[in-house]
Amino acid sequence: MLKRFGISLESDLSDQFDEYIRERGYTNRSEAIRDLIRDALIKRLWSEGEAEAAGAAVIVYNHHLHELSKKLTDIQHDHFELVVSTMHVHLDHYNCLEVVLLKGKAKEIRKLADTLIAVRGVKHGQFVGSLSGDIP
Q: By CB under 5 A, name the binding residues for Ni ion.
A: 90, 96
Q: Min. distance of Cβ 119 from Ni ion in angstroms? A: 15
Q: Min. distance of Cβ 48 from Ni ion in angstroms? A: 36
Neighbouring residues of 129: CB distance < 8 A, sequence distance ≥ 6: 42, 46, 53, 54, 55, 106, 109, 110, 113
Enumerate the H helices of 25-105 as residue ranges.
29-48, 68-78
Closer residue to Ni ion (CB): 45 or 117: 117
Residue 135 and residue 41: Cα distance in Å, rounded? 9
Closer residue to Ni ion (CB): 29 or 90: 90
Closer residue to Ni ion (CB): 56 or 96: 96
Residue 121 and residue 83: Cα distance in Å, rounded? 21
| Residue 86 β-bridge partners | 100
Closer residue to Ni ion (CB): 34 or 88: 88
Q: How far is CA 62 from the centre of its chain?
A: 23
Q: Min. distance of Cβ 73 from Ni ion in angstroms? A: 12
Q: Min. distance of Cβ 117 from Ni ion in angstroms? A: 17
